[in-house]
Amino acid sequence: MMTATADLCDAHPDVTVCEPLFRDYGGTTTFHGPIRTLKVFEDNALVRTALEQPGAGRVLVVDGGGSLRCALVGGQLAELAARNGWAGIVVNGCVRDTKELAAQPVGIKALASSPRRSEKGLHAGHADRVVAFAGARFVPGDWLYADDDGIVVADRALTG
């Protein structure tokens, strides 16, 4: 059981709190785990590749540059994430198939929804690099905690 983000902030004043930009789309709103990062732009090929791998309770942080023109995660990828053991996905961009996302037992936070799919092969991307958005730095291996109150990032595990 994860400790609430408000309680984590009280107990650990050094944690980073993301700006409140994100909406909940997944079947669970409370999730946490070590961070894995992707940097992409309007092309979700790397997102699929990452979610095809065992998640082992990690959280995939996808920096889509804040683009609202197309979705980077949809129903098929949410199902893949749940099946492969990912705790959650945070998207600095859009998702789609919101009813399908809500049916999956995985946490998904994003800026908005858009019915438009991404283009494959449109842009190159990067994996496992430090990304920054919403007033936070997301370092691979650091920890992310999310619930209805927001997203907290820490350089270590804060709960057992």
pLDDT one digit per residue (tens) for the chain, 160 residues: 678 999 999 999 999 999 999 999 999 999 999 999 999 999 999 999 999 999 999 999 999 999 999 999 999 999 999 999 999 999 999 999 999 999 999 999 999 999 999 988 777 799 999 999 999 999 999 999 999 999 999 999 997 5
Helices (H), 62-149: 75-83, 98-102
Region of residue 49 (left: phi > 0; alpha: psi -120 to 50; beta: else): alpha
Q: What is the pTM of this model?
A: 0.96
Closest CA to 43 of 113, 79, 85, 93: 93
pLDDT tens string 127-157: 999 999 999 999 999 999 999 999 999 999 9
Nearest-angstrom CA–CA distance, 20 and 151? 8
pLDDT of residue 106: 98
Find, among 7, 6, 30, the residue nearest to 147 by Cα.
Answer: 30
